[in-house]
Each structure stands twice: as C-alpha cells, then as structure tokens.
C-alpha cells in the first residue's frame, strides 16, 4: 500500500475483525533490510528505529545514516524522540514525503533518554504530548499522514487513561501501549491495563510486550480487544512469526542472506540478526561456532553445511 500520494491512509488497515501486525522500533535492528524481511512474512506496518529529532534536524549526516527507505518499504512509521513540539514538527515535515506517519516515543525507559527529557518521562507530561501531536498534525500537509504515540503505563492507571484521552483530544491517530511501567523489564505484561486503555478511547490501540508467536497475537487481542499488536524480540528471534511459523524457517534465513547482500548490510548487523534467528533452533556447541564466525562467506558456508539450502529441502 503506497500512501505517499496522500489519497490513502495507513489508518485504513485498522478494520473491524482484523488484528494489525506491527514490527516495533528497535535500535540498530528495525532498519530497512530487516523491515524488508518481515514484510515478506505478513508484517503489516514497520517502524524505524527511534531517531532523536534534534540530531536529525541538526545534521545531514545524521539524516542520511538514521533514515534509509525505499519505494517498497511501506507502510512505514518513523519514530522520533523529542521533547519540544517545533523540532518534532520540523522532523515530521522532512520525512513525510517518504513515510506514512511519525510516532513519538513516550516509552523508552533507558536512563540517558529520560535524563534528556525523552522517552518514558513524557508519560508524565500530557500537555506537552498534546502539543507535539497537534504540531505534527498541523504542520504536515497531508491529511492522511498519521501522528501516533508509544507509551508505557503508570502505576496509577488513571494517569495513563488521562494521558491517552488528552492525546486523543489533540488528534492522535493511534496509541501503542507497552503493558509495563518504566521500571519494569521482564515482569509479566499488564493485559488488564491495556484493556482499560482500549476501553477508554475511540481510536485504535496497539498492544506491545511479550508477543513471541502468532498465537500470542490472537490471545492478546482476545484479552484486551486491541486493534493491533507490535512485536520486537519475538520478530528478532523469528522474522516469520506473523506468518505462523513456530521457529525461523530455513527459507527466511536464506531470504535474510539475500536481502543483506542486496542492501550491503554491515557484517556485524547481518551476523547479529542470524544469531537471534538461530538461537531457538541450534544447540549450544553450534551457537558457539556460529557466533565466532567473522565473514559473510564463512556464515554462508556454515549455513549451507549445517542446514542446507531451500533447494535442498525441495529436492
């Protein structure tokens, strides 16, 4: 679905009875090559990694290194970290011709982000979030361009509901809810909190947290009534998860090799993704050997010798 002409909107994907499947913003990982891979396996919407809007606006070098896309890389949401409305609005105007929406990060719990006024500290500044959403909607000259937010929850859920309703009043397109507080890391996701938020607004809500298999998509939808689900680590471990595969299929591994070569993906990134993909399907000794490989050709030889090619499976 191409939406750069302004005639169609990514909002059209949120239809009754359909659960929209989303690839999360992941620092270093949700770049163009990986987005191209998950799109082959039923991922509906992809996010870029989080980009600091002020750096993005200050430097051409930052713009070129942080934001790469292609005609087929759609629908695409660009996620920004920002703490003032004008900078976010300016950044949105720069990426708008090449994307379908921007998302404001209000969920990153890392200390550096929060001390700089970014990420999860914004859930305590609903008026500022309102202003930032409104500025994006006013400045981007495309009525179908979306402005969304990704949040974590408060210990007192009334504050989260208030934030979401204020963002809705400012025209936010949808809200992604990571069902944990800023202090929580691997604790269970608070599905009841996500449901409460979904019930308190009329706009689409996407659930995030612990989506590891396709069955988790359906169970999360049943538990919360959300309109979509977003996966991060689940997709790193298995980019074909949304297509119903329990573990990364061999075809997907070789697709990643092809895409990486086509995109000129740096070896470290190429290798790291494969380490994630092979983790559940390989033994400890195999992982030790694989993790120590240091060139693309060595990786390809290893994959061929250990798993074979897709053609071998068909034979």
Q: What pLDDT is attached to residue 72?
A: 96
Q: Is the pLDDT of residue 4 over 50?
A: no
Q: What is the mean pLDDT of residues 282-287?
A: 94
Q: Is the pLDDT of residue 5 over 50?
A: no
Strand 51-52 relative to strand 45-47: parallel, antiparallel, unpaired?
A: unpaired
CB 149 within 8 A of CB 133: yes
The domains of the chain are located at 10-243, 250-313
- The one catalytic residue among 23, 46, 106, 108: 108
Query: For position 195, what pLDDT does the model report?
Result: 98
Q: pLDDT, tens digit, for every residue of 159-194?
A: 999 999 999 999 999 999 999 999 998 899 999 999
74 is in an annotated binding site: no
pLDDT for 18-36, tens place per residue? 999 999 999 999 999 999 9
> Which CATH number, 3.30.420.40, 3.40.50.2000, 3.20.20.70, 3.40.920.10, labels domain 10-243?
3.20.20.70
Please check if 27 is assigned to a binding site: yes
DSSP H or E stretch at residue 188: none
* 233 marked as part of a ligand binding site: yes
Q: How confident is the model at residue 121 (pLDDT cuts 50, 70, 90)?
A: very high
106 is catalytic: no
Read off the DSSP letter of residue 123.
G
Residue 127 has pLDDT above 90, yes or no: yes
- In 3-state terms, what secondary structure has residue 101? strand
pLDDT of residue 313: 63
Q: Is 230 annotated as a binding residue?
A: no
Q: 22 by DSSP, 3-state: which? A: strand
* Pick from 123-127, 207-211, 307-311: least confident: 307-311
pLDDT bracket for residue 275 (50, 70, 90): very high
Q: Helices 32-39 and 250-263, interaxial angle, to 10°?
A: 140
């Amino acid at each position: 679905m191409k939406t750069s002409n302004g005639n169609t909107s990514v909002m059209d994907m949120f239809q009754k009875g359909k659960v929209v499947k989303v690839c999360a913003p992941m620092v270093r990982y949700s770049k163009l090559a990986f987005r191209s891979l998950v799109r082959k396996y039923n991922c509906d919407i992809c996010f870029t990694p989080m980009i600091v809007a002020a750096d993005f606006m200050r430097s051409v070098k930052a713009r070129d290194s942080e934001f790469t896309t292609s005609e087929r890389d759609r629908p695409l949401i660009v996620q920004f970290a920002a703490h003032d409305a004008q900078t976010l609005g300016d950044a949105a105007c720069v990426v708008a011709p090449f994307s379908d929406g921007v998302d404001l990060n209000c969920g990153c719990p890392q200390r550096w982000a929060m001390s700089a006024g970014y990420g999860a500290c914004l859930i305590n500044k609903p008026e500022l979030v309102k202003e930032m959403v409104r500025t994006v909607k006013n400045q981007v000259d495309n009525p179908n361009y979306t402005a969304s937010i990704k949040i974590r929850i408060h210990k007192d859920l009334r504050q989260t509901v208030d934030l979401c309703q204020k963002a809705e009043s400012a025209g936010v397109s949808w809200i992604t809810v990571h069902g944990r507080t800023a202090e929580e890391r691997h604790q269970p996701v608070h599905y009841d909190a996500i449901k409460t938020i979904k019930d308190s607004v009329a706009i689409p809500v996407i659930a995030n947290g612990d989506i590891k298999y396709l069955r988790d998509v359906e169970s999360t939808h049943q538990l919360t009534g959300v309109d979509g689900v977003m996966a991060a680590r689940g997709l790193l471990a298995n980019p074909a998860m949304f297509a119903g595969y329990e573990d990364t299929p061999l075809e997907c591994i070789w697709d990643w090799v092809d895409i990486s070569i086509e995109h000129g993906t740096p070896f470290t990134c190429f290798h790291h993704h494969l380490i994630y993909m092979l983790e559940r399907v390989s033994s400890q000794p195999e992982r030790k050997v694989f993790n120590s490989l240091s060139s693309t050709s060595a990786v390809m030889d290893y994959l061929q010798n250990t798993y074979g090619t897709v053609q071998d499976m068909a034979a």
